[in-house]
Amino acid sequence: MKFKGVIFDLDGVICFTDKYHYKAWKTLADRLGIYFDEQINDRLRGVSRMASLEIILEKSEKHYSEEEKLRFAEEKNLIYRQLLAEMSPADISNEVRETLTRLRGMGVKLAIGSSSKNTPLILNKTQTAEYFDAVSDGNNITRSKPDPEVFLKAAEFLGLTSAECLVIEDAYSGIDAGVAGGFSTAGIGPASKYEKANYHLKSFADILSIE
């Protein structure tokens, strides 16, 4: 591993909370009488809560005030957090845990770079906080991906430069954010097919093969 640090997106990389996000947004959309399906949900990948809400409201015939939108976003988050209470260490695969352990054993610094404000809760429920030297998330940024702020702060927290870190992302917007911040990037899942990524991972453990 030529990188001194690796910065991971959380959802879709370390763990998968898509089903909880979908259920929460669907509950809100149904209440508001707005059409919402999994195809629309796919557009929310790697996008902030408020930006996600705007995408959902595209299907609405009503115009909502900023105050109403903030209430909707909070309502969705409350539902989502209730669903996250179901998470446990079993939500993290052995492959992920073993890979993180091996990276730490190689002396590589590890960080989370996620737009989610629920990052601390997820790390706590899955018992994965111990793997990471730093966490940059929705609680300390003002701009969402594809802005590189979350990754730049993660690198800063690690005491490293962008050039010394590799960003692991499953979303195109996350790869764009990494590129914008001057990072090398590795795409996994949907982003493994993104031509802007420097590395294309078939599995999480493939990170160990990056030279």
Cα 48 from Cα 160, distance rounded (Å): 25
Cα 25 from Cα 30, distance rounded (Å): 8
Q: Which residues, in sequence order, are CB contacts of 154 under 8 Å at separation 6+? A: 7, 111, 112, 113, 134, 135, 136, 165
What is the gyration radius of the CA atoms in the chain, in angstroms?
A: 17
Residues annotated as catalytic (active site), given as ranges? 9, 11
Helices within 127-167 (DSSP H only): 149-158
Q: Is the dihedral of CA 7, 11, 12, 13 positive or negative?
A: positive
Cα–Cα distances in angstroms (integers) from residue 108 to residues 105, 137, 143, 166, in the given order: 7, 20, 27, 11
Burial of 24 (0-12, 13-18, 19+ CB in 10 A): buried
Q: How many CB atoms lie within 10 A of CB 58?
A: 10
Q: How many CB atoms lie within 10 A of CB 128?
A: 20
